Structure 1
């Protein structure tokens, strides 16, 4: 009887084990990569919160909009965010973790130009897609460009060309420059000088100051520029360094009866901290709080942002929001997280932004997104942009022939 029972029990146990295995397979939770698509986002949150906090709010709003609309092919879009503290080495550590441990489909973000270049090189070495948001150095897509790296914001050359158009109209013949002594500042000054010279061969440069980024000693800087007695000043300082420079310059009368042309100063992130000390009449790139384009896209974005955060959007908000919207467009078109398919999808793709349609050029991976040019002013003891107009980035890009001469072959 024992044998017969054992014979009957064996098959029954086998069937039960198989059934249990099947049940376990059915009830096992799906892997995260089966239900979501991850973007690894890196930025200098602790180094420059005035820009990166609005930027974070912008991309968080965009992620929610993407997922409410059905995600990416039915999968949830997820962003894993890391702080690089403004240091290339920390950005590389974060990138390595995001790729090797978190298995992100792409890297995105970056603020400082030297960090962006480090991430671009990482993308090339590890064959991972990188969508740069803020880094402005021309090298990112031109002299150091690679097939894995794309850039959203208008570059130094693009913004310098917009500013040079206005600077060339000034009667000023002698100029001085003040810029942070790292990749972004060096690149911005060099390209502005080149572009202004093409428009005004009679211009000469009589002084330059290169304070360490984040550590400006404004007194000696202002004194050195004042001693040179230039007709006009090119400024590339931003953030807390800009506040110190403006305060010291106003105190010593550096800007009185002198033209100033300034990268980024019209962005609310950098005007707001100046309050009633904001300079008046500077020619700047930026983003007017009043809603410069007054288009349906810009209006809808500003209203949604205001409703969600109870504050007006800043330039960082636009960058963060558009970064994710463009990434989602690429992922949808690729219908894959394969790097080669992402690159193929991104080259030439058109995407939406609060500033209207923009495109990533196939030849150099530079976006055609533009920015505003205007003058600084004051309203209710607060810095604002006045006399502004939107400049389409596509009109300020180098020709295909110039790109081929600058950009290494992949």
Structure 2
């Protein structure tokens, strides 16, 4: 068990050296070791940033005489190693032995579905921060589950809009899909096809391929794609899996005959940095957060502070973990009653200013789906060494507002 921090406010020792008891304990599950450990290590840094930000805001409230402050938070971070049974066991230990009031995090959607069911059984909040399957935010929605990063439906429907616009600039007729063989990979294609159908985009699917997670050799799938190259290959791998696919597709010549796109997480900084010059220009990518977009004071400060603390630039998992802590604290502060039910009601429709918000937009949680509504930025890989060790960054942005808009009084 790793204790990330004890409180957002009130850390000062009481008489006798004691520290004020936390008002909420949050149990977070992320892989800190193993192939996806970089996700959890970035989440760790961002959680500390969020807690410090809350302490700073509370001091401002105190100076202004504001009676409603953010709660004292204790965050417990467990290394899930990305394993399903381990994650389920740790979730129960966090709640039943460590006293966690709220669960958060989880990278894999299949694990998140199981943790969500446990949270519903316990009637406790689970703040999804990292996974993307739209199954979790479509009916029937778990009343205790909320997600603070884009889901596959948002990302893929934005991708459908991008593909429709692309037809007028670079006509295409065929696409193929490659995704991981579990809920997220299958669901993402359904979301994309739904978006293309709604937009009445004519196309043909030349193939669907579902390798297992962390499969080291994609040559068989790439050869199948090369046998009749589609105009566009939609690849929905994430993390090291996507980086490996890009390397192998580049070496085998697929990227010379087909455009490659990943509309959900392929534009994450860690992938771009890992690929270096192996990522050719012109690959179409997006992510849940970008270091170089939007160019706003809030995003610049977030990226700079993360780099100051860690010596590296953040991947998208950092901002979602940051958002999870802020969402919990803001819901507690706004709730009429600060119990689980009161916070649950406060999260429905909650507005939350985040680093990825462009000017004039503020992230908010849809009260029906419990999915955060955010802007999607899709770009192309371009030479850019402003964020070393990356040799590429995204540019030529196209920006898509969420399809659902806040309810007005």
TM range (shorter): 0.7 to 0.9
Residues 149 and 288, structure 2, Cα contact 8 Å, conserved in 1: no
What is the distance in 2 between the residues matched to 1:70 and 1:92? 34
1:334 to 2:343 alignment: no
Specify every segment of 5 or more residues in structure 2 that has no aligned partner in the other structure, as ranges. Answer: 1-13, 60-67
What is the distance in 1 between the residues matched to 2:191 and 2:405? 12
| Paired position in structure 2 for 1:349 | 350
| Paired position in structure 2 for 1:5 | none
| Paired position in structure 2 for 1:43 | 30
* Cα offset, 1:53, TM superposition: 1.9
* Cα offset, 1:75, TM superposition: 4.9
**Larger Cα-atom Rg:** 1
For residues 318-350 of structure 1, give each alpha carbon's deviation from its aligned partner in whole angstroms, at most 9, with x where no partner exists: 222122111111121227552111111111111
Aligned-residue CA RMSD (Å): 2.6
Question: Aligned to 2:266, what secondary structure does the other structure show?
Answer: strand
| Paired position in structure 1 for 2:403 | 396
What is the distance in 2 between the residues matched to 1:370 and 1:348? 16
* Cα offset, 1:255, TM superposition: 1.2
Residues 207 and 228, structure 1, Cα contact 8 Å, conserved in 2: no
Q: Choose from 373, 377, 384 the match for 2:378.
A: 373
| Paired position in structure 2 for 1:145 | 141
TM-score, scaled relative to structure 1: 0.83
| Paired position in structure 2 for 1:268 | 269
What is the distance in 2 between the residues matched to 1:375 and 1:262? 10
The 5 Å alignment of 1:79-90 reads 79-90=75-86
Q: Which moved more, 1:152-161 or 1:87-96?
A: 87-96
Q: Choose from 95, 108, 115 the match for 1:99.
A: 95
Residues 124 and 144, structure 2, Cα contact 8 Å, conserved in 1: yes
Q: Which moved more, 1:282-291 or 1:36-45?
A: 282-291
- Choose between structure 1 and 2 for higher RCO, CA contacts under 8 A separated by at least 6 residues: 1
Residues 27 and 76, structure 2, Cα contact 8 Å, conserved in 1: yes
The 5 Å alignment of 1:10-409 reads 34-47=21-34, 48-70=36-58, 73=69, 75-168=71-164, 169-170=166-167, 171-263=171-263, 264-286=265-287, 291-334=292-335, 337-356=338-357, 357-380=362-385, 382-392=391-401, 395-397=402-404
For residues 220-255 of structure 1, give each alpha carbon's deviation from its aligned partner in whole angstroms, at most 9, with x where no partner exists: 111111113212111111222222211221111111
Question: Aligned to 1:131, what secondary structure does the other structure show?
Answer: strand
The structure 1 segments of at least 4 consecutive aligned residues displaced by more than 6 Å after TM superposition are: 26-32
Specify every segment of 5 or more residues in structure 1 that has no aligned partner in the other structure, as ranges. Answer: 1-25, 401-410
Greater share of helix residues, 1 or 2?
1
For residues 294-330 of structure 1, give each alpha carbon's deviation from its aligned partner in whole angstroms, at most 9, with x where no partner exists: 2232223223323333333332222221221111111
Question: Aligned to 2:202, what secondary structure does the other structure show?
Answer: coil
Residues 179 and 210, structure 2, Cα contact 8 Å, conserved in 1: yes
Number of residue-to-residue matches in the alignment: 372
**Gap change, CA 1:100 and 1:289, over 3 Å in 2:** closer
What is the distance in 2 between the residues matched to 1:50 and 1:355? 20
Q: Which moved more, 1:233-242 or 1:326-335?
A: 326-335
What is the distance in 1 between the residues matched to 2:23 and 2:120? 25
